[in-house]
A and B are shown apart, each in its own frame.
Chain A
Amino acid sequence: MTSDVIAQFKNVVKEYHTKNGTTIALNGVNLDISRNEFICVVGPSGCGKSTMLNMLAGLFPPTSGQVLFEGKEVEGTSIERGVVFQQYALFPWLTVRKNIEFGLKQIRVIDSNGKKKGLDKKEIDTTVDKYLNLVQLEDFANSYPKQLSGGMKQRVAIARAYAVNPQILLLDEPFGALDAQTRTQLQSELIKTWEQEKKTCLFITHDIDEAVILASRIVIMSARPGRIKDIVNVDIPHPRDQSTKMTEEYQKIKNYVWGQVYEEYLEVRK
Protein backbone atom coordinates (compact mmCIF):
# COMPACT_ATOMS: atom_id res chain seq x y z
CA MET A 1 0.00 0.00 0.00
CA THR A 2 2.58 2.54 -1.11
CA SER A 3 -0.10 5.09 -1.96
CA ASP A 4 -0.92 5.30 1.71
CA VAL A 5 2.51 6.65 2.58
CA ILE A 6 2.23 10.35 3.30
CA ALA A 7 5.81 11.18 4.26
CA GLN A 8 9.17 9.51 3.87
CA PHE A 9 12.69 9.89 5.18
CA LYS A 10 15.17 8.30 2.76
CA ASN A 11 18.76 7.89 3.96
CA VAL A 12 18.54 11.22 5.67
CA VAL A 13 21.78 12.63 7.03
CA LYS A 14 21.94 15.95 8.81
CA GLU A 15 25.15 17.64 9.89
CA TYR A 16 25.41 20.90 11.74
CA HIS A 17 28.52 22.93 11.10
CA THR A 18 29.47 25.29 13.88
CA LYS A 19 32.55 27.04 15.17
CA ASN A 20 33.25 24.07 17.41
CA GLY A 21 33.20 21.58 14.57
CA THR A 22 30.66 19.37 12.92
CA THR A 23 27.85 17.56 14.69
CA ILE A 24 26.26 14.66 12.90
CA ALA A 25 22.74 14.87 14.21
CA LEU A 26 21.20 12.19 12.00
CA ASN A 27 23.06 9.49 10.17
CA GLY A 28 20.96 7.56 7.69
CA VAL A 29 17.36 7.72 8.80
CA ASN A 30 14.75 5.74 6.86
CA LEU A 31 11.12 6.00 7.82
CA ASP A 32 7.79 5.76 6.06
CA ILE A 33 4.84 7.52 7.68
CA SER A 34 1.44 6.25 6.61
CA ARG A 35 -1.70 8.32 6.39
CA ASN A 36 -3.75 8.36 9.59
CA GLU A 37 -0.88 7.03 11.67
CA PHE A 38 0.07 8.40 15.04
CA ILE A 39 3.83 8.03 15.27
CA CYS A 40 5.69 8.77 18.45
CA VAL A 41 9.44 9.25 18.39
CA VAL A 42 11.42 8.55 21.55
CA GLY A 43 15.15 8.55 22.16
CA PRO A 44 17.86 10.11 24.26
CA SER A 45 18.33 13.85 24.33
CA GLY A 46 20.34 15.13 21.39
CA CYS A 47 19.69 12.14 19.13
CA GLY A 48 18.14 14.31 16.44
CA LYS A 49 14.41 14.02 17.04
CA SER A 50 13.72 17.71 16.63
CA THR A 51 16.03 17.80 13.64
CA MET A 52 13.90 15.15 11.94
CA LEU A 53 10.68 16.97 12.67
CA ASN A 54 11.98 20.35 11.57
CA MET A 55 13.14 18.93 8.25
CA LEU A 56 9.72 17.46 7.57
CA ALA A 57 8.23 20.81 8.54
CA GLY A 58 10.47 22.35 5.90
CA LEU A 59 12.42 24.65 8.19
CA PHE A 60 15.74 23.41 6.76
CA PRO A 61 16.88 20.73 4.29
CA PRO A 62 18.84 17.54 5.04
CA THR A 63 22.58 17.43 4.33
CA SER A 64 22.01 14.40 2.16
CA GLY A 65 19.17 12.01 1.51
CA GLN A 66 15.58 12.99 0.94
CA VAL A 67 12.60 14.08 2.96
CA LEU A 68 9.45 13.48 0.94
CA PHE A 69 5.89 14.60 1.54
CA GLU A 70 3.13 13.24 -0.66
CA GLY A 71 5.86 11.90 -2.92
CA LYS A 72 7.50 15.30 -3.44
CA GLU A 73 10.68 16.56 -1.86
CA VAL A 74 10.02 19.03 0.95
CA GLU A 75 11.21 22.49 -0.10
CA GLY A 76 10.15 24.84 2.64
CA THR A 77 7.23 25.17 4.99
CA SER A 78 3.63 24.64 4.00
CA ILE A 79 0.26 24.70 5.72
CA GLU A 80 -0.04 21.04 4.70
CA ARG A 81 2.35 20.34 7.57
CA GLY A 82 1.30 21.90 10.86
CA VAL A 83 3.71 22.26 13.75
CA VAL A 84 3.19 22.51 17.49
CA PHE A 85 6.29 23.73 19.29
CA GLN A 86 7.31 22.90 22.83
CA GLN A 87 7.53 26.58 23.77
CA TYR A 88 3.93 27.18 22.57
CA ALA A 89 5.11 29.96 20.22
CA LEU A 90 1.85 31.87 20.54
CA PHE A 91 1.86 35.45 19.32
CA PRO A 92 1.68 37.35 22.60
CA TRP A 93 0.13 40.45 21.01
CA LEU A 94 -2.83 38.51 19.63
CA THR A 95 -5.80 37.21 21.56
CA VAL A 96 -6.55 33.50 21.61
CA ARG A 97 -9.06 33.95 18.82
CA LYS A 98 -6.63 35.97 16.67
CA ASN A 99 -3.88 33.43 17.26
CA ILE A 100 -6.08 30.63 15.94
CA GLU A 101 -7.14 32.85 13.04
CA PHE A 102 -3.56 33.60 12.00
CA GLY A 103 -3.07 30.63 9.69
CA LEU A 104 -6.59 30.84 8.27
CA LYS A 105 -5.95 34.42 7.23
CA GLN A 106 -2.96 33.33 5.15
CA ILE A 107 -5.00 30.93 3.05
CA ARG A 108 -5.73 32.09 -0.50
CA VAL A 109 -8.39 30.45 -2.59
CA ILE A 110 -9.29 30.99 -6.23
CA ASP A 111 -12.78 32.46 -6.54
CA SER A 112 -15.24 32.00 -9.42
CA ASN A 113 -13.57 34.82 -11.41
CA GLY A 114 -10.23 33.09 -11.17
CA LYS A 115 -8.96 35.70 -8.70
CA LYS A 116 -7.05 34.87 -5.56
CA LYS A 117 -8.74 35.90 -2.37
CA GLY A 118 -8.75 35.19 1.34
CA LEU A 119 -11.36 33.13 3.13
CA ASP A 120 -14.64 34.81 4.08
CA LYS A 121 -14.72 36.30 7.52
CA LYS A 122 -17.71 34.11 8.31
CA GLU A 123 -15.88 30.98 7.28
CA ILE A 124 -12.89 31.95 9.41
CA ASP A 125 -15.12 32.67 12.41
CA THR A 126 -16.92 29.34 12.13
CA THR A 127 -13.64 27.44 11.95
CA VAL A 128 -12.17 29.32 14.88
CA ASP A 129 -15.31 28.68 16.94
CA LYS A 130 -15.10 24.99 16.14
CA TYR A 131 -11.54 24.69 17.37
CA LEU A 132 -12.08 26.95 20.36
CA ASN A 133 -14.80 24.53 21.30
CA LEU A 134 -12.59 21.51 20.65
CA VAL A 135 -9.96 22.76 23.09
CA GLN A 136 -12.60 24.14 25.48
CA LEU A 137 -11.36 27.69 25.46
CA GLU A 138 -14.50 29.54 24.32
CA ASP A 139 -14.44 31.59 27.49
CA PHE A 140 -10.89 32.71 26.80
CA ALA A 141 -11.32 33.67 23.15
CA ASN A 142 -10.50 37.30 23.88
CA SER A 143 -7.74 36.72 26.42
CA TYR A 144 -4.09 37.32 25.68
CA PRO A 145 -1.59 34.47 26.02
CA LYS A 146 -0.06 36.02 29.14
CA GLN A 147 -3.39 35.46 30.88
CA LEU A 148 -3.37 31.70 30.23
CA SER A 149 -1.81 28.77 32.06
CA GLY A 150 0.77 26.60 30.29
CA GLY A 151 -1.79 23.92 29.51
CA MET A 152 -4.20 26.45 28.06
CA LYS A 153 -1.46 27.98 25.94
CA GLN A 154 -0.58 24.61 24.49
CA ARG A 155 -4.27 23.99 23.74
CA VAL A 156 -4.34 27.23 21.77
CA ALA A 157 -1.23 26.18 19.89
CA ILE A 158 -2.84 22.85 19.04
CA ALA A 159 -6.07 24.52 17.94
CA ARG A 160 -4.06 26.96 15.82
CA ALA A 161 -2.26 24.10 14.10
CA TYR A 162 -5.49 22.13 13.55
CA ALA A 163 -7.46 25.11 12.26
CA VAL A 164 -5.71 25.26 8.88
CA ASN A 165 -6.48 21.57 8.44
CA PRO A 166 -2.98 20.31 7.65
CA GLN A 167 -2.38 16.86 6.20
CA ILE A 168 0.02 16.02 9.00
CA LEU A 169 0.62 17.45 12.44
CA LEU A 170 4.16 17.63 13.76
CA LEU A 171 4.41 17.97 17.52
CA ASP A 172 7.79 18.49 19.20
CA GLU A 173 7.43 17.58 22.88
CA PRO A 174 4.28 19.67 23.08
CA PHE A 175 3.55 18.65 26.67
CA GLY A 176 7.15 18.73 27.86
CA ALA A 177 6.77 21.87 29.91
CA LEU A 178 3.50 20.89 31.61
CA ASP A 179 2.83 19.35 34.99
CA ALA A 180 1.85 15.67 35.13
CA GLN A 181 -1.84 16.28 35.65
CA THR A 182 -2.29 18.79 32.83
CA ARG A 183 -0.22 16.51 30.68
CA THR A 184 -2.50 13.49 31.15
CA GLN A 185 -5.50 15.67 30.51
CA LEU A 186 -4.10 17.01 27.23
CA GLN A 187 -3.08 13.47 26.23
CA SER A 188 -6.66 12.32 26.68
CA GLU A 189 -7.93 15.24 24.62
CA LEU A 190 -5.41 14.49 21.89
CA ILE A 191 -6.42 10.81 21.82
CA LYS A 192 -10.07 11.79 21.47
CA THR A 193 -9.30 14.21 18.67
CA TRP A 194 -7.26 11.62 16.86
CA GLU A 195 -9.98 9.00 17.25
CA GLN A 196 -12.41 11.45 15.62
CA GLU A 197 -10.27 12.94 12.86
CA LYS A 198 -7.52 10.36 12.35
CA LYS A 199 -5.12 13.16 11.51
CA THR A 200 -1.63 11.86 10.77
CA CYS A 201 0.67 12.86 13.63
CA LEU A 202 4.40 12.78 14.24
CA PHE A 203 4.81 13.32 17.95
CA ILE A 204 8.13 13.64 19.75
CA THR A 205 8.33 12.90 23.44
CA HIS A 206 10.67 11.92 26.24
CA ASP A 207 7.84 10.27 28.12
CA ILE A 208 7.44 6.58 27.32
CA ASP A 209 3.99 6.40 28.92
CA GLU A 210 2.91 9.23 26.70
CA ALA A 211 4.29 7.47 23.63
CA VAL A 212 2.51 4.18 24.35
CA ILE A 213 -0.87 5.69 25.15
CA LEU A 214 -0.87 7.91 22.05
CA ALA A 215 0.95 6.03 19.34
CA SER A 216 0.01 3.53 16.72
CA ARG A 217 3.76 3.11 16.14
CA ILE A 218 6.71 4.08 18.27
CA VAL A 219 10.02 4.95 16.65
CA ILE A 220 12.96 4.42 18.99
CA MET A 221 16.09 6.40 18.11
CA SER A 222 19.63 5.47 18.99
CA ALA A 223 22.02 7.89 20.63
CA ARG A 224 23.86 10.42 18.49
CA PRO A 225 24.44 10.24 15.62
CA GLY A 226 20.75 9.44 15.47
CA ARG A 227 19.47 6.43 13.63
CA ILE A 228 16.30 4.45 13.99
CA LYS A 229 17.00 1.64 16.42
CA ASP A 230 13.62 -0.04 16.46
CA ILE A 231 10.01 0.50 15.49
CA VAL A 232 7.29 -0.90 17.74
CA ASN A 233 3.68 -1.40 16.68
CA VAL A 234 1.24 -0.45 19.40
CA ASP A 235 -1.72 -2.73 18.71
CA ILE A 236 -3.79 -1.54 21.61
CA PRO A 237 -7.29 -0.91 20.23
CA HIS A 238 -9.06 2.43 20.38
CA PRO A 239 -10.87 4.04 22.10
CA ARG A 240 -8.09 4.40 24.63
CA ASP A 241 -8.10 6.37 27.83
CA GLN A 242 -6.02 6.58 30.97
CA SER A 243 -7.38 3.21 32.17
CA THR A 244 -5.69 1.62 29.16
CA LYS A 245 -2.49 2.02 31.16
CA MET A 246 -3.68 -0.79 33.48
CA THR A 247 -3.87 -3.37 30.72
CA GLU A 248 -1.30 -6.09 30.27
CA GLU A 249 -0.64 -5.21 26.62
CA TYR A 250 0.17 -1.67 27.58
CA GLN A 251 2.58 -2.75 30.29
CA LYS A 252 4.29 -5.21 27.97
CA ILE A 253 4.89 -2.61 25.28
CA LYS A 254 5.95 -0.01 27.79
CA ASN A 255 8.51 -2.37 29.35
CA TYR A 256 9.90 -3.25 25.96
CA VAL A 257 10.24 0.36 24.83
CA TRP A 258 11.69 1.31 28.18
CA GLY A 259 14.34 -1.40 27.87
CA GLN A 260 15.32 -0.21 24.41
CA VAL A 261 15.52 3.43 25.42
CA TYR A 262 17.47 2.54 28.55
CA GLU A 263 20.12 0.77 26.48
CA GLU A 264 20.59 3.98 24.51
CA TYR A 265 20.66 6.02 27.67
CA LEU A 266 23.53 3.83 28.94
CA GLU A 267 25.21 4.38 25.59
CA VAL A 268 25.09 8.14 26.11
CA ARG A 269 26.55 7.80 29.61
CA LYS A 270 29.54 5.83 28.39
Chain B
Amino acid sequence: MSNSFKKKKGHVLSKWQGALLSLVIAVFLWWLISLSPSGGKVFASPMEVMGSMMESLKSGSLLQNFWASLKRIIIGFLLAFICSLPVAFILGWYKTICTIVEPWIQFLKNIPPISYIPLVVVAAGVGEESKIVVIFIACFLTMTITIFQGVKNVDSTLIKAARVLGANDFTIFTRVVVPASSPFIITAMRLGLSSALTTLIAAEMTGAARGMGVMIQSSSQYFRMDIVLMGILVIGVLGLILQKLVRMLEKRVADWQDTIVEEG
Protein backbone atom coordinates (compact mmCIF):
# COMPACT_ATOMS: atom_id res chain seq x y z
CA MET B 1 0.00 0.00 0.00
CA SER B 2 1.65 3.12 -1.22
CA ASN B 3 0.06 5.58 1.18
CA SER B 4 0.51 3.68 4.41
CA PHE B 5 2.84 5.14 7.01
CA LYS B 6 6.25 3.62 6.89
CA LYS B 7 7.12 2.06 10.18
CA LYS B 8 10.23 3.46 11.72
CA LYS B 9 12.82 0.76 12.05
CA GLY B 10 14.01 -0.24 15.49
CA HIS B 11 12.26 0.66 18.72
CA VAL B 12 12.40 -2.96 19.68
CA LEU B 13 14.34 -2.03 22.82
CA SER B 14 12.79 -0.68 25.99
CA LYS B 15 14.30 2.40 27.60
CA TRP B 16 16.27 0.31 30.08
CA GLN B 17 17.45 -2.16 27.52
CA GLY B 18 18.63 0.76 25.39
CA ALA B 19 20.54 2.30 28.28
CA LEU B 20 22.14 -1.03 29.12
CA LEU B 21 23.17 -1.65 25.53
CA SER B 22 24.63 1.83 25.30
CA LEU B 23 26.66 1.19 28.45
CA VAL B 24 27.90 -2.19 27.25
CA ILE B 25 29.06 -0.75 23.93
CA ALA B 26 30.79 2.15 25.69
CA VAL B 27 32.67 -0.21 28.01
CA PHE B 28 33.58 -2.39 25.04
CA LEU B 29 34.98 0.59 23.10
CA TRP B 30 36.88 1.68 26.17
CA TRP B 31 38.34 -1.79 26.49
CA LEU B 32 39.41 -1.75 22.80
CA ILE B 33 41.16 1.60 23.29
CA SER B 34 42.94 0.35 26.40
CA LEU B 35 44.30 -2.57 24.32
CA SER B 36 45.84 -0.27 21.70
CA PRO B 37 49.49 0.64 22.37
CA SER B 38 49.02 4.43 22.39
CA GLY B 39 45.55 4.48 24.03
CA GLY B 40 46.68 2.03 26.68
CA LYS B 41 49.08 4.57 28.15
CA VAL B 42 46.21 6.84 29.14
CA PHE B 43 43.30 4.47 29.39
CA ALA B 44 43.54 1.83 32.00
CA SER B 45 41.32 -1.10 31.10
CA PRO B 46 37.79 -1.33 32.54
CA MET B 47 38.89 -4.25 34.68
CA GLU B 48 41.77 -2.31 36.18
CA VAL B 49 39.54 0.62 36.94
CA MET B 50 36.97 -1.64 38.58
CA GLY B 51 39.74 -3.21 40.58
CA SER B 52 41.04 0.07 41.90
CA MET B 53 37.51 1.16 42.64
CA MET B 54 36.95 -1.89 44.80
CA GLU B 55 40.24 -1.25 46.52
CA SER B 56 39.54 2.38 47.30
CA LEU B 57 36.03 1.52 48.40
CA LYS B 58 37.46 -1.00 50.81
CA SER B 59 40.04 1.38 52.17
CA GLY B 60 37.36 4.07 52.46
CA SER B 61 39.37 6.68 50.59
CA LEU B 62 36.91 6.90 47.70
CA LEU B 63 33.99 7.59 49.97
CA GLN B 64 35.94 10.18 51.93
CA ASN B 65 36.96 12.01 48.78
CA PHE B 66 33.52 11.72 47.27
CA TRP B 67 31.83 12.99 50.39
CA ALA B 68 34.22 15.95 50.68
CA SER B 69 33.42 16.98 47.10
CA LEU B 70 29.70 16.40 47.39
CA LYS B 71 29.55 18.52 50.52
CA ARG B 72 31.24 21.43 48.72
CA ILE B 73 28.95 21.17 45.73
CA ILE B 74 25.83 21.01 47.82
CA ILE B 75 26.75 23.84 50.16
CA GLY B 76 27.98 26.08 47.32
CA PHE B 77 24.96 25.30 45.20
CA LEU B 78 22.39 25.75 47.95
CA LEU B 79 23.87 29.06 49.10
CA ALA B 80 23.92 30.27 45.50
CA PHE B 81 20.35 29.11 44.96
CA ILE B 82 19.09 30.86 48.08
CA CYS B 83 20.83 34.09 47.04
CA SER B 84 20.04 34.01 43.34
CA LEU B 85 16.27 33.71 43.84
CA PRO B 86 15.70 37.08 45.53
CA VAL B 87 18.36 38.81 43.43
CA ALA B 88 16.82 37.59 40.16
CA PHE B 89 13.32 38.52 41.27
CA ILE B 90 14.37 41.97 42.42
CA LEU B 91 16.12 42.53 39.08
CA GLY B 92 13.04 41.41 37.19
CA TRP B 93 10.62 43.41 39.29
CA TYR B 94 12.39 46.77 39.76
CA LYS B 95 13.33 48.43 36.48
CA THR B 96 15.83 50.94 37.91
CA ILE B 97 17.83 48.37 39.86
CA CYS B 98 17.86 46.20 36.76
CA THR B 99 19.24 49.00 34.58
CA ILE B 100 22.15 49.44 36.96
CA VAL B 101 22.92 45.84 37.82
CA GLU B 102 22.23 44.00 34.58
CA PRO B 103 25.38 45.28 32.79
CA TRP B 104 27.48 43.98 35.70
CA ILE B 105 25.98 40.57 35.33
CA GLN B 106 26.39 40.61 31.56
CA PHE B 107 30.04 41.50 32.10
CA LEU B 108 30.71 38.93 34.81
CA LYS B 109 28.97 36.05 33.11
CA ASN B 110 31.59 35.87 30.36
CA ILE B 111 34.41 35.35 32.83
CA PRO B 112 35.09 31.69 33.65
CA PRO B 113 34.59 31.33 37.41
CA ILE B 114 37.86 29.45 37.79
CA SER B 115 39.72 32.64 36.96
CA TYR B 116 38.61 33.99 40.33
CA ILE B 117 40.40 31.19 42.13
CA PRO B 118 43.59 33.15 42.79
CA LEU B 119 41.57 36.06 44.13
CA VAL B 120 39.51 33.81 46.33
CA VAL B 121 42.56 31.99 47.62
CA VAL B 122 44.14 35.28 48.66
CA ALA B 123 40.90 36.45 50.24
CA ALA B 124 39.72 33.23 51.87
CA GLY B 125 42.84 31.10 52.05
CA VAL B 126 43.18 27.54 50.81
CA GLY B 127 40.71 26.15 53.29
CA GLU B 128 37.21 24.83 52.84
CA GLU B 129 35.68 28.29 52.38
CA SER B 130 37.59 29.17 49.26
CA LYS B 131 36.30 26.07 47.45
CA ILE B 132 32.76 26.82 48.44
CA VAL B 133 33.12 30.47 47.46
CA VAL B 134 34.30 29.57 43.95
CA ILE B 135 31.46 27.11 43.47
CA PHE B 136 29.08 29.68 44.86
CA ILE B 137 30.22 32.34 42.34
CA ALA B 138 29.90 29.93 39.45
CA CYS B 139 26.40 28.78 40.42
CA PHE B 140 25.15 32.15 41.51
CA LEU B 141 25.84 33.95 38.24
CA THR B 142 24.40 31.19 36.06
CA MET B 143 21.30 30.82 38.17
CA THR B 144 20.64 34.52 38.61
CA ILE B 145 20.80 35.11 34.86
CA THR B 146 18.50 32.20 34.08
CA ILE B 147 15.88 33.01 36.71
CA PHE B 148 16.02 36.69 35.76
CA GLN B 149 15.21 35.75 32.14
CA GLY B 150 12.20 33.86 33.41
CA VAL B 151 10.94 36.75 35.51
CA LYS B 152 11.41 39.18 32.63
CA ASN B 153 9.52 36.94 30.23
CA VAL B 154 6.41 36.46 32.34
CA ASP B 155 3.46 36.93 30.00
CA SER B 156 2.09 40.40 30.71
CA THR B 157 -1.48 39.31 29.94
CA LEU B 158 -1.29 36.95 32.89
CA ILE B 159 -0.33 39.85 35.12
CA LYS B 160 -3.22 41.89 33.70
CA ALA B 161 -5.57 38.95 34.18
CA ALA B 162 -4.56 38.68 37.83
CA ARG B 163 -4.92 42.41 38.31
CA VAL B 164 -8.46 42.55 36.94
CA LEU B 165 -9.34 39.67 39.25
CA GLY B 166 -8.44 41.87 42.20
CA ALA B 167 -4.87 40.70 42.93
CA ASN B 168 -2.53 43.18 44.61
CA ASP B 169 1.19 43.46 43.86
CA PHE B 170 2.14 40.93 46.52
CA THR B 171 -0.31 38.35 45.21
CA ILE B 172 0.77 38.99 41.64
CA PHE B 173 4.32 38.38 42.69
CA THR B 174 3.74 35.22 44.69
CA ARG B 175 0.88 33.72 42.69
CA VAL B 176 1.80 34.74 39.15
CA VAL B 177 5.42 35.81 38.73
CA VAL B 178 6.93 33.05 40.86
CA PRO B 179 4.98 30.13 39.39
CA ALA B 180 5.33 31.51 35.87
CA SER B 181 9.10 31.53 36.35
CA SER B 182 9.28 28.08 37.92
CA PRO B 183 10.38 26.36 34.68
CA PHE B 184 13.27 28.79 34.55
CA ILE B 185 14.06 28.15 38.20
CA ILE B 186 14.34 24.44 37.44
CA THR B 187 16.53 25.12 34.42
CA ALA B 188 18.64 27.39 36.59
CA MET B 189 19.13 24.55 39.08
CA ARG B 190 20.21 22.23 36.31
CA LEU B 191 22.68 24.76 34.89
CA GLY B 192 23.87 25.67 38.39
CA LEU B 193 24.66 22.05 39.23
CA SER B 194 26.64 21.67 36.01
CA SER B 195 28.61 24.79 36.82
CA ALA B 196 29.21 23.49 40.31
CA LEU B 197 30.63 20.22 39.03
CA THR B 198 32.74 21.96 36.41
CA THR B 199 34.20 24.35 38.92
CA LEU B 200 34.65 21.83 41.71
CA ILE B 201 37.64 20.02 40.32
CA ALA B 202 39.48 23.23 39.49
CA ALA B 203 38.70 24.60 42.95
CA GLU B 204 39.99 21.46 44.63
CA MET B 205 43.20 21.59 42.67
CA THR B 206 44.13 24.75 44.56
CA GLY B 207 44.91 22.36 47.33
CA ALA B 208 42.70 20.46 49.70
CA ALA B 209 43.10 17.46 51.93
CA ARG B 210 40.31 15.52 50.31
CA GLY B 211 38.06 15.61 47.29
CA MET B 212 37.64 14.04 43.91
CA GLY B 213 39.81 16.75 42.34
CA VAL B 214 42.58 16.06 44.83
CA MET B 215 42.29 12.34 44.23
CA ILE B 216 42.56 12.79 40.47
CA GLN B 217 45.44 15.18 40.62
CA SER B 218 47.56 13.31 43.14
CA SER B 219 47.06 9.97 41.36
CA SER B 220 48.09 11.50 38.07
CA GLN B 221 51.41 12.40 39.63
CA TYR B 222 52.03 8.70 40.25
CA PHE B 223 50.67 7.82 36.79
CA ARG B 224 47.86 5.86 38.38
CA MET B 225 45.62 6.32 35.37
CA ASP B 226 43.23 3.72 36.73
CA ILE B 227 42.45 5.96 39.69
CA VAL B 228 42.29 9.08 37.54
CA LEU B 229 39.82 7.40 35.25
CA MET B 230 37.77 6.11 38.14
CA GLY B 231 37.57 9.61 39.59
CA ILE B 232 36.38 11.01 36.28
CA LEU B 233 33.74 8.30 35.99
CA VAL B 234 32.49 8.90 39.51
CA ILE B 235 32.10 12.63 38.78
CA GLY B 236 30.21 11.77 35.60
CA VAL B 237 27.87 9.46 37.47
CA LEU B 238 27.33 12.07 40.18
CA GLY B 239 26.40 14.56 37.45
CA LEU B 240 23.85 12.15 36.02
CA ILE B 241 22.32 11.53 39.43
CA LEU B 242 22.03 15.23 40.24
CA GLN B 243 20.39 15.96 36.88
CA LYS B 244 17.98 13.10 37.45
CA LEU B 245 17.01 14.56 40.82
CA VAL B 246 16.28 17.93 39.21
CA ARG B 247 14.23 16.15 36.56
CA MET B 248 12.15 14.53 39.28
CA LEU B 249 11.62 17.88 40.95
CA GLU B 250 10.60 19.35 37.61
CA LYS B 251 7.96 16.68 37.14
CA ARG B 252 6.51 17.68 40.48
CA VAL B 253 6.52 21.46 40.25
CA ALA B 254 6.36 22.27 36.54
CA ASP B 255 4.27 19.51 35.09
CA TRP B 256 1.74 22.03 33.84
CA GLN B 257 4.05 23.26 31.08
CA ASP B 258 3.40 22.59 27.41
CA THR B 259 7.06 22.09 26.79
CA ILE B 260 10.04 21.72 29.03
CA VAL B 261 12.49 24.62 28.81
CA GLU B 262 15.67 23.24 27.30
CA GLU B 263 18.97 24.80 28.07
CA GLY B 264 21.16 25.76 25.13
A63 an interface residue at 8 Å Cβ cutoff?
no
User: B165 contacts which of A59, A87, A145, A160 (Cβ < 8 Å)?
Assistant: A160
In the assembly, what is the distance between CA of A102 and CA of B256, in Å? Answer: 17
Q: Given A91-B179, A92-B256, A146-B256, is A106 in contact with B157 using a C-beta cutoff of 8 Å?
A: no
- Closest B residue to A107 by beta carbon equals B166
CB of B166 within 8 A of CB of A103, answer yes
Interface of B is mostly: helix
- Closest A residue to B171 by beta carbon equals A106
In the complex, chain B residues whose CB is within 8 Å of the CB of A57? 164
CB of B257 within 8 A of CB of A164, answer no
User: B160 contacts which of A59, A102, A144, A160 (Cβ < 8 Å)?
Assistant: A59
CB of B257 within 8 A of CB of A146, answer yes
Q: Given A91-B179, A93-B182, is A82 in contact with B257 using a C-beta cutoff of 8 Å?
A: no
What's the nearest-Cβ distance from chain A to residue B15, in Å?
24
In the assembly, what is the distance between CA of A146 and CA of B254, in Å? Answer: 12
A141 an interface residue at 8 Å Cβ cutoff?
no
B26 an interface residue at 8 Å Cβ cutoff?
no
User: Which residues of chain B in 137-186 are interfacial with respect to chain A, using CB atoms and an 8 Å cutoff?
Assistant: 155, 157-158, 160-168, 171, 175-176, 179-180, 182
Report the number of A-B residue pairs with Cβ-Cβ less than 8 Å. 64
In the assembly, what is the distance between CA of A57 and CA of B166, in Å? Answer: 11
CB of A103 within 8 A of CB of B157, answer no
CB of A89 within 8 A of CB of B180, answer no
- Closest A residue to B180 by beta carbon equals A93
User: B157 contacts which of A85, A102, A145 (Cβ < 8 Å)?
Assistant: A85
B258 an interface residue at 8 Å Cβ cutoff?
yes
A78 an interface residue at 8 Å Cβ cutoff?
yes
CB of A83 within 8 A of CB of B257, answer no
CB of B179 within 8 A of CB of A78, answer no
CB of A78 within 8 A of CB of B257, answer no
A135 an interface residue at 8 Å Cβ cutoff?
no
In the complex, chain A residues whose CB is within 8 Å of the CB of B157? 85, 87, 89
Give per-residue flags for A77-106: 1 if the beta carbon is below 8 A from chain B beta carbons, else 0.
111011101010111111000000011001
Q: Given A93-B179, A93-B256, A146-B258, is A106 in contact with B167 using a C-beta cutoff of 8 Å?
A: yes
CB of A164 within 8 A of CB of B256, answer no
In the complex, chain B residues whose CB is within 8 Å of the CB of A94? 256
In the complex, chain B residues whose CB is within 8 Å of the CB of A59? 160, 163-164
What's the nearest-Cβ distance from chain A to residue B184, in Å?
13
In the complex, chain A residues whose CB is within 8 Å of the CB of B162? 91, 102
CB of A164 within 8 A of CB of B158, answer no
- Enumerate chain A interface residues (CB-CB to B < 8 A): 57-59, 77-79, 81-83, 85, 87, 89-94, 102-103, 106-107, 144-146, 160, 164
